[in-house]
Amino acid sequence: MSANPRTPPLAARLAMLPPLPGTPRVSVLLAVRNEERFIARALDAVRSQEWDYERLEIIVADGASTDRTVAQVLRIAARDSRVRLVHNHAKFVAQGLNRALCEATGDVIVRVDGHCRIPGHYVKAGVAALRRDPSLACAGGPVRAQGGTAMADAIALAMSTPFGVGGASFRWARESRDVDHLPFGVWRREVFEMLGGFDEALVRNQDDEFSDRLHRAGGRIHMLHEQLVDYWSRSSLSALARQYLAYGFWKVRVIRMRGGWPSSPRHLVPAAFLLALTGGVAATLTTGIVALALVTPALYASFLFVAICALLARGHGRAALLLGAALPAMHMAYGAGFLAALVCTHPRAASHAPALAPRDAAHALQRAA
């Protein structure tokens, strides 16, 4: 969904809104499925926010978990009335977040993941940023990937360096700046009223698409460098490959939704790498010149060598050495997913981002129910 040429940019529309109340009501949303290992830690971080107890609500949308996630949420909710469980029968994240949005009563919306831990001043810092600059559409912190085992540490490092994620600066930048995306945003509710919710046509990348929609509407996203969000990365190469295969696949859908052009050239690099690999092999089979099949692998091996040496020099030790496995798993899986989507999916992608009722109307519906 792009902005109507006659509609003022989102930043201008937000600047015209009344100021946030002194202590705005905040709704923290989590869409989760099978997060029994992490959900208690994620909720404890939200519950311990430095914010007025009565002005914070926590809505967990569970996507039909088959482990003990629901039991843990209910146990916490029994001790803390701010925690509410809602059921997301569709199971996917976008539907879960939209279900939670419909239940939210806050002036401010915060998105948190079941796999992460926000710092104690996250809500306070995000609200302060929105108050400081009324034209700002979203604020939040960068992601600090965490591991736990040797391979998980390497995967976390791969997800925290430009060698792994290119220009996705929310994963590696450590200074406050405007960025193209934040996964764990703090927004005024009116942003969703103006733009709609998360796109339910997407199984993955729904937060990425929402950030892109926000930018195209003229909004800004500001990263607060001191508000580091801990995110526990995948612990095995197979899990990492599945994650990035899905990221690459659904990124094509997001690109098609925005008219066929990526928001950054970095999204095309892994697919171009795979095409260069297969092209070199095809050229060797055609000409019999073996060197043609070795050019791209040699260049990528040089890239890995530079990455490993650079991160060893920064003191990353064993995790840097294991990048030789983690980086190819990320890049090749993402590229494979991207190319598969180009072949397998319809070129004209339709979006489905449901509208969010204005807060007064939402409250009236809740009272009627």
Same domain, 28 and 114: yes
Same domain, 221 and 253: no
94 domain residue, yes or no: yes
Same domain, 280 and 249: yes
Q: How many domains does the chain have?
A: 2
165 domain residue, yes or no: no
- What's 20's domain CATH number? 3.90.550.10
> Which residues, other chains included, contact 181 with Cβ-Cβ below 8 Å and sequence gap of 6+?
168, 170, 207, 208, 211, 212, 221
Instruction: Tell me the C-alpha to C-alpha distance, in Å, between residue 139 and each of 126, 281, 294, 321, 339.
Output: 5, 46, 45, 35, 33
120 domain residue, yes or no: yes
Tell me what percent of the chain is helix, strand and coil, each rounded to the nearest 5. Answer: 50, 10, 35
**Of 223, 30, 67, nearest to 137 (Cα)?**
223
> What is the full per-residue pLDDT of the chain (369 aa) written as tens digits?
445 556 788 889 998 999 999 899 999 999 999 999 999 999 999 999 999 999 999 999 999 999 999 999 999 999 999 999 999 999 999 999 999 999 999 999 999 999 999 999 999 999 999 999 999 999 999 999 999 899 999 999 999 999 999 877 888 777 899 999 999 999 999 999 999 999 998 999 999 999 999 999 999 999 999 999 999 999 999 999 999 999 999 999 888 887 777 878 888 999 999 999 999 999 999 999 999 999 999 999 999 999 999 999 999 999 999 999 999 999 999 999 999 999 886 665 666 778 787 766 555 444 344
Residue range of the domain that includes 254? 236-348
Same domain, 34 and 135: yes
Same domain, 252 and 132: no
Same domain, 62 and 27: yes
**224 CB-side CA count, 13 A:** 25
